[in-house]
Amino acid sequence: MLKGKRIAVIGTGYVGLVSGACFAYLGHRVIGLDVDTNKIERLKRGEVPIYEPGLDRILKKAIEDGNIEFTTDYSYAVKNADYIFIAVGTPSREDGSADLSYVESAYRSIAEFIDGDDFKVIVNKSTVPVGTGRWAKEFIAGLLREKGVKEPEKRFEVVSNPEFLREGKAVEDFMNPDRVVVGADNREVAGLVASLYEPLQPPILITDLPTAEMIKYASNAFLATKISFINEIANVCEKLGADVTVVARGMGLDHRISPHFLRAGCGFGGSCFPKDVKALIHTAKSVGEEPRLLESVIEVNERQKLRPVEKLLKHIPDLEGRTVAVWGLAFKPETDDMREAPSIPIIRELLARGATVKAYDPVAVENARRVFEKELHTHPQRLIFTSDMYSALEGADALILVTEWPQFKEVDFDKLRGKVVIDGRNLWNPTLMRKYCTYESIGRS
């Protein structure tokens, strides 16, 4: 029987909420904290404020078992937890560096409620630049010293425990981790954090603080590199009559390469890859390195996002007065997250070229309306969100598929008859599609 540990999770975004709910599901006693009162009120009512498959079931079970509660009260969370996980956002600043203001503010609030006889394990789950953990130790010790706590370094330890959760598969990834990485200067405390995952029996890697922080960045940067690599290969394949999907399959059979993250398409988006690669570039430059490969990963990706529009222009050179349907707005299927989604530059480019855009996504329309607030104001007649996929096609000259939601796969091909279809995710079979429409995809000539 697992002896549940007392855990607080600061931040109830997808990382914090999934981690908290899963820890509670495993039998730990979890307090979820957020400064957003509205979010906490919804969570208290059992409502899940984000779209994450499987999360509602896990959360419901955790609530029924009495293993999770929610609060906005730092004092309560800090006093009633031995492990305090920080899972707040670290957005990109203008120069690509990570904005640590939410993390810093969490440290301040935690320090406020650490007393002279406490020992708290403060765990960074947020992706923070390499070096943040060691800096945090000094920062928090300084705050404790200021309020008169004696020997402040004995009252807490900072641990890095990066997350490797994919949005849309976050619960599955938490429950079946490829590895759990724990970095700390104190190995015993690192072992305690690793033991929280014991029921999952994951491979565990214990490291020092900066190494754990770097593993997170290097992993995301490597996956992003694979994507930009295959996209570049795809663009060359097109010109030479090769098929990138088969090329990727052939490469992936080599276990040193692996078949994953070799799907060519219209680029990567999301809250992690673009932000983390940019932050790593910034960190590398700050220590005098020239991270050329990483810079190219971003550059290739920015160009790739507009590739579908370039392909469309080959068939319809003047988009003024034409109508283009866009299927899929979220940065990938199974999420309503619009951050850095390729649909954003694509739609902006179509509008700039005078087209009317009819866009559909199964879950992301509400978020998309916020992203395109300005465009909806400037071109109210030219940007239309539809409530089903086929309404978007009505009167459209062309269709661009940006996000490969499974339901698009089973399309009624007759509805595409006569249109120009640009498949940005290689979802459909080219031979079949060409019977119905003018069809182009990525890396398949």
* Residue nearer to ligand UGA on the CB measure, 129 or 270: 270
String marking each residue 293-332 x if it binds ligand UGA according to CB under 6 A: --------------------------------------xx
Q: Should residue 261 be labelled a site residue for ligand UGA when binding is judged by CB under 6 A?
A: yes
**Measured between alpha carbons, how far is residue 43 from residues 12, 69, 295, 335 in Å?**
9, 9, 40, 19
The reply on whether position 25 binds ligand UGA by CB under 6 A is no
Question: Is residue 321 marked as binding?
Answer: no
Contact by Cβ (8 Å): 445, 286: no
- Judge contact between 342 and 401, C-beta under 8 A: no
254 annotated ligand binder = no
268 vs 372, which CB is nearer to ligand UGA?
268
In the complex, least distance from residue 30 CB atom to ligand UGA, rounded to whole angstroms: 20
Q: Does the annotation flag 165 for ligand binding?
A: yes
- Residue 167 engages ligand UGA in binding (rule: CB under 6 A): yes
Among 263, 307, 311, 444, binds ligand UGA (CB under 6 A): 263
Residue 223 lies near ligand UGA (rule: CB under 6 A): yes
Does 5 engage in binding with ligand UGA (CB under 6 A)? no
Report, in angstroms and rounded to the nearest whole number, the Rg of the chain calculated over CA atoms. Answer: 24
CA angle (296 as vertex; 439, 177 as ends), nearest 5: 85
Q: Is 332 known to sit in a ligand binding site?
A: yes
The three-state secondary structure class of 356 is: strand
CA atoms of 302 and 61, how far apart (whole Å): 42
**Judged by CB under 6 A, does residue 273 bind ligand UGA?**
yes
220 binds ligand UGA (CB under 6 A): yes
Q: How far apart are CA 444 and CA 236, in angstroms?
A: 10
* Residue 272 designated active-site: yes
272 touches ligand UGA by CB under 6 A = yes
Residue 163 binding ligand UGA, by CB under 6 A: yes
Candidate residues 102, 113, 135, 164; the one interacting with ligand UGA per rule CB under 6 A? 164
Which helix (H) or strand (E) is 243 found in, with range? none
**Is 337 a known ligand-binding residue?**
no
Residue 107: which residues within 8 A CB-CB, separation 6 or more?
86, 122, 136, 139, 140, 143
Task: Examine residue 270 and tell whether it contacts ligand UGA (CB under 6 A).
Answer: yes
User: How buried is residue 38: exposed, middle or buried, by Cβ count under 10 Å (0-12/13-18/19+)?
Assistant: exposed
Residues 329-358 that bind ligand UGA (CB under 6 A): 331-332
Task: Compute the least distance from the CB of residue 296 to ligand UGA, in Å.
Answer: 16
Q: What is the DSSP string of 286-333?
A: HTT---HHHHHHHHHHHHHHTHHHHHHHHH-S--TT-EEEEE--SSST
**Contact flag: residue 30 with ligand UGA (CB under 6 A):** no
Q: Exactly one of 227, 234, 351, 399 binds ligand UGA (CB under 6 A); which one? A: 227
Direct distance between the N- and C-terminal alpha carbons of the chain, in angstroms, rounded to an integer? 58
Residue 274 in contact with ligand UGA, rule: CB under 6 A: no
Residues linked to residue 7 through DSSP beta bridges, in sequence order: 30, 83
Strand ranges, E, within 22-151: 29-33, 68-71, 83-86, 120-124
Q: What are phi and psi of 393, to 5 degrees?
A: -80, -20
Hey, which residues are catalytic here?
Answer: 272
Write out the binding residues for substrate: 164-167, 216, 261-265, 269, 332
Could you list the residues that contact ligand UGA (CB under 6 A)?
127, 163-167, 220, 223, 227, 261-263, 265, 268-270, 272-273, 331-332
Write out the binding residues: 34, 39, 90, 127, 164-167, 216, 261-265, 269, 275, 332, 339
